[in-house]
Amino acid sequence: MCVDHDARLPALPAGDQSAITERVVLTAPDGNHFSAFAAEPAERVRRSAVIVLPDVRGLFGFYEDLAVRFAEHGHPAIAIDYFGRTAGTEERPADFPFMDHVAETHSDGINADIAAAGAYLRERHLEAELYAVGFCFGGTVAWAAATHGHGLAGVIGYYGRTEVDRPAGDGPIWDRCHLMEGRLLALFGGADPAIPPENVARFEAALEEAGVDHEVVVYPGAPHSFFDRSQEDFLEESLDTWKRTLELIR
């Protein structure tokens, strides 16, 4: 299971800017309307912008806060929701049955939404390099996005599953490594029962074979979804993932 509805980010180092935020409704190329949360640095903008891809709950406060944190470090960011096609664009309660809606997602729809998010950022920052950062469900979606021609400079996936058909219709990510563009960072917990070491090894071998510029990091003893304020014992690991993430997108 991913983070709770009321989860908070780990105690990450503060950026040197304030953020200007806005809730928006985007329109995908297929006509879908979906919710997103945009955060812009108030002053200096770096050359990299970020699409934040949430876990199975879709868009909620944890990922909105993450978009803000990227903006505080100078990176415009937009966190998107996956469920516009099945649940509309309204904010949702903690008991929203997200897994019912996850089952209705598919590659064509998710990649249409990613394309809309990318267009939103590019319209405002013409020369920005785009990166996708995702968690759990969104981690695999981020890696897969590098295979769909979005022009991403890099993708970062926190504890994404490697063997599942995700997003639905793509098949396992290790079968798509030959299609990847840009750089890739994969971050895993070594004590995550959903992602055994042999799956990580197979993914890394596929990346090597495909010649993808990549880094795979496994944190011994860390569980699934360790990037969470409640996982106090793994703050050092969370800080290291954040450092690696910022280094890649810079």
Residue 1 pLDDT: 58
Residue 170 pLDDT: 98
Mean pLDDT rounded to a whole number for the chain = 97
| d(C-alpha 137, C-alpha 68), whole Å | 21
Angle between helices 107-124 and 137-145 (to 10 degrees): 70
Phi, psi (rounded to 5 degrees) for 50:
-130, 130
Q: Is the dihedral of CA 108, 109, 115, 119 positive or negative?
A: positive
- What is the pairing mode between strands 154-158 and 129-135? parallel
In total, the chain counts a number of residues equal to 250
Q: Where are the alpha helices (DSSP H) in 133-227?
A: 137-145, 197-210
Residue 183 pLDDT: 98
Average of per-residue pLDDT across 96-118: 98
CATH class for the domain made up of 19-249: alpha beta
52: closest CA among 145, 126, 128?
145
- pTM value is 0.98
pLDDT per residue as tens digits for the range 218-250: 999 999 999 999 999 999 999 999 999 999 998
Q: Is 240 exposed, middle or buried (0-12, 13-18, 19+ CB in 10 A)?
A: middle
The answer, yes or no, to whether residue 198 has pLDDT greater than 90, is yes
pLDDT per residue as tens digits for the range 120-179: 999 999 999 999 999 999 999 999 999 999 999 999 999 999 999 999 999 999 999 999
Domain boundaries of the chain, sorted by first residue: 19-249
With bands split at pLDDT 50, 70 and 90, how would you rate the model's confidence at 44?
Answer: confident
> 66 near 79, Cβ under 8 Å?
yes
